[in-house]
Amino acid sequence: MASNLVYVLNGPNLNLLGMREPEIYGSDTLDDIAAMLEDRARDLGLEIDLRQSNHEGHLLDWLHEAQAEGARAVLLNAGALTHTSLALYDAIRSIKTPVIEVHISNPHAREEFRHKSYVGMAAKGSIAGFGPKGYLLALEAAAGL
């Protein structure tokens, strides 16, 4: 039986949600998203462990930890590291824990440099462009794994 633990990992600048470019990312803060996820996780019989770091190495360590802890899944919004980090790609490929890529905006509708996703190339699936509700969609997907 799969664990009920789902890691929710957030990368660079996501600590600024609610203040950073609200026309793109909306007015919800990361704390708002955490509260929304906690409520839905409870309904699904899941537990979330939400973390944010501006440092790539922390995300790598947490992906490894999710595997070691037997997590059901990882929801990963790697921010701009999505488009640059071969290390995240390798880490996702190196663990058995399914990773679901999440983006608040739709990277394919933005600047061209955002169109390539190393995270997406390694992830089980991707959810983008639905605002903070994308996290809920990803949690639903994780519940079904």
Strands 5-10 and 47-52: parallel
Q: Examine the residue annotation and report whether 89 is marked as an active-site residue of this protein.
A: no
Single out the catalytic residue among 25, 58, 64, 118.
25
Between CA 142 and CA 76 the distance in angstroms is: 12
Between CA 105 and CA 95 the distance in angstroms is: 26
Single out the catalytic residue among 103, 108, 115, 118.
103
What residues form DSSP beta bridges with 5?
47
CA 20 vs CA 12, 27, 100, 123, 141: distances in Å: 12, 9, 23, 26, 28
Helix locations, the chain, DSSP H: 22-25, 30-44, 56-68, 86-94, 118-122, 133-143
Q: Examine the residue annotation and report whether 115 is marked as an active-site residue of this protein.
A: no
Name the residues annotated as catalytic: 25, 103
